[in-house]
Structure 1
């Protein structure tokens, strides 16, 4: 009989607070003041400023924002329940409370909680305008609304009618203090991702030098899947409260190619200034606007997945664009790019040690810190295969969760010949970003020269006209190879990637560009099947 399923940890969130409110009651007064105080406190809140009529079908983006929020503040005002839209929001918020563990804080604004619980705020005609739905569907929806109102009324929250909060400002201050204490101490990262991060985070902390008032830019560099983004996200969550404004800009390279420079700059300013309706500006004026708006503000910025010098120049070309004490973290797999921009303080993300790797793998494979009794030897086999790469440990551990030892053994045997596609797809991005000549050198190193004497390899490749000195520099700067004690090394999974790329060139050995197994070489030469 299969063991009972263990629920995975809740997904990470993007916003710290989602504000649900009835615009006609509270926009331009209470909610505006609440939103402003949350912003001042450093709480990243989502507020829907849509001009759509409340009562029409709720926008899918709002449902997504609710799922992406750590907590929801539901401002229950006299007319809150007169809007289908508000009630649909409330149902979704309570669903996320149940399924994702999201926090819900009701604010009873000029209403009695007992009226909410008894659905007295719900108008008799609610749902009648839903002409496209059947009577049964309407009844079901109204029933859900009533249940949601009853449930939210029982959650501990804030009541504006209390005499101790006669002044609205004091009432809002108490709400903000309460919610900030709750969401600021709640990490958005999966706890498993923090395994082995302690000493690494301390190193990054030392490089950031947060106790100084200078503007400082720090790079995080390393192989794909090694945990660069995870480390930066933890640092961002840990320190963003110390800054007047903050922004974690993800997928910079993709956004730059898909949407252009203005979109990147617009997202940066929107998130740091917390203004959704920023005016557009002429192409080329974004840099001046960033300097103009942020030069007097202490900001924490993270730019993730930067692969072109122009991208970081558009976002943070000069340190004087930002106020005293600001910190900018640039994440890239290209060390030369960081140095070319003047980022001389660079943290090199490294693979996990064996004990750390086993703990991380166990977190995903068993939902505990060590393997189960009958899985120790198999676990060490997978950890050895992953060679300390966090991405591989997470992917493999998650895949193997709740599977039998027989299934584990079959998967381990399979990996020797057929690499995991999810892992390979991430690592292949490193290969795809290389120029053609550098790709050839990478494949040669993967097929023949991993762990070989660097001088001998250089001589061989030079004789082939591959300009190895330049290629080695590119591969080292992109964290694909290292040189240690006079020998060239690449991660075992990168070597497997290179050989898999060659295998996929053709089904027949003789039609492939490289052969490294003696039996394959003998067979091709003996049979005369070389292309």
Structure 2
């Protein structure tokens, strides 16, 4: 609730505006008396300015007020603006009116129309939209070119309203971006589920620590204790997720025995559940009997250059004087996002001598030997940079 008398301090104002400027999403709630508060109007102007200049998202909520009424500044809006015109001048008021006209053209919600006026359902809709905006299109999307299209293709196979369980298998060579794609898909779908689990790096963890520590991730915290070693973990997992609609991501799994120890016969989960698996093993995809298979292919030369440049130059293209070197390095990586990101990051703000040295060494590495490419970059770094490499 706004009160001009309570907000007279410049310190409060600067903190408030700072918070708006640092936000990714702004949700102005437009009420009948919105224009009676100059703080609300000033905040709205700032939100729209951040939207134009910084890419901030603005989703208005029109609460018990008609959009045309706000757009035309009628009723109480006219009364409020007449008051502000006398006090602050016509120029300020016109800026506020223009801001209201602009916000009325944005996609948002109307409390009396959306969800049939049921406020609880409206709030849930807004929360889901914000979560989807924040996590479904997060920084991960910048890590894999064309990821929007790939996620859209996979989700077109899945309808969370369907009454059957789906297993989605994402597979491809090491370094092509399977995990990144799966994480974006997982984040996008997560708004539809209350019960979720993301089990990462299964192949490596199972090899060195055993499958039990991964099983525990699928078991409620209260069951994790030294006394549960003898418990049949798959039975416990089933009992915890029995008849629940779940979303599970099993990342980098290549053995059917590990799959059976974590999920097994998924008929015990509630219809509508989704299990996503990522693997480099095409045979596992067939053994797990996935419903939908998606092969992650290498990036094109142009996509590779953009991704590499984002990490090497913080731009979508090479800077002047580094075009030939960049094209040479990109052609060596064979369209593998992992190599492009790591090599580009290692070369960021490095001298031309380092560029030439790494480029020369990479030329000697057979295509798709990603680990060898990464080792070359790692050894080129000084001790402190090598420590940051592992963070």
Q: Which TM-score band applies after superposition, normalised by the shorter structure?
A: 0.5 to 0.7
TM-score (normalised: structure 2)? 0.58
- 2:349 paired with 1:402: yes
Measure, in 2, the Cα distance between the counterparts of 1:183 and 1:426: 37
Measure, in 1, the Cα distance between the counterparts of 2:189 and 2:125: 18
- Native 8 Å contact 2:140 2:184 kept in 1: no
Correspondence for 2:202 among 225, 242, 252: 252
Structure 1: give runs of 5+ residues left out of the alignment.
1-100, 104-172, 429-492, 494-531
Which runs of structure 2 are paired with 1:316-327 in the superposition (5 Å)?
Answer: 316-327=263-274
The residue that corresponds to 1:218 in the other structure is 168
Larger radius of gyration: 1
User: Structure 1, residues 347-377: CA drift from partner, whole Å, max 9, x if none?
Assistant: 1111001111111111101111112122222
Q: CA deviation at 1:381?
A: 1.0
Measure, in 1, the Cα distance between the counterparts of 2:320 and 2:253: 43
Measure, in 2, the Cα distance between the counterparts of 1:394 and 1:277: 40
TM-score (normalised: structure 1)? 0.43
- Native 8 Å contact 2:329 2:362 kept in 1: no
Q: CA deviation at 1:212?
A: 1.8
What is the RMSD of the two structures over their aligned residues, measured on CA atoms?
3.6
1:310 and 1:284, CA in 2 relative to 1: closer, same or farther beyond 3 A?
farther
The residue that corresponds to 1:196 in the other structure is 146
- 2:292 paired with 1:338: no
The residue that corresponds to 2:133 in the other structure is 185
1:177 and 1:376, CA in 2 relative to 1: closer, same or farther beyond 3 A?
same
User: Structure 1, residues 423-471: CA drift from partner, whole Å, max 9, x if none?
Assistant: 325999xxxxxxxxxxxxxxxxxxxxxxxxxxxxxxxxxxxxxxxxxxx
1:284 and 1:349, CA in 2 relative to 1: closer, same or farther beyond 3 A?
farther
DSSP 3-state at the match of 2:219: helix
Which runs of structure 2 are paired with 1:127-526 in the superposition (5 Å)?
Answer: 185-187=133-135, 189-270=139-220, 275=221, 278=224, 281=228, 283=230, 285-417=232-364, 423-424=370-371
- Native 8 Å contact 1:304 1:330 kept in 2: yes
Measure, in 1, the Cα distance between the counterparts of 2:373 and 2:321: 31
- Native 8 Å contact 1:221 1:332 kept in 2: yes
Q: CA deviation at 1:344?
A: 4.9
DSSP 3-state at the match of 1:246: strand
Which runs of structure 2 are paired with 1:41-60 in the superposition (5 Å)?
Answer: none
User: Structure 1, residues 13-58: CA drift from partner, whole Å, max 9, x if none?
Assistant: xxxxxxxxxxxxxxxxxxxxxxxxxxxxxxxxxxxxxxxxxxxxxx
Structure 2: give runs of 5+ residues left out of the alignment.
1-21, 25-120, 377-391
Q: Which has the higher contact order (CA 8 A, sep 6+)?
A: 2
What count of residue pairs does the alignment treat as equivalent? Answer: 258
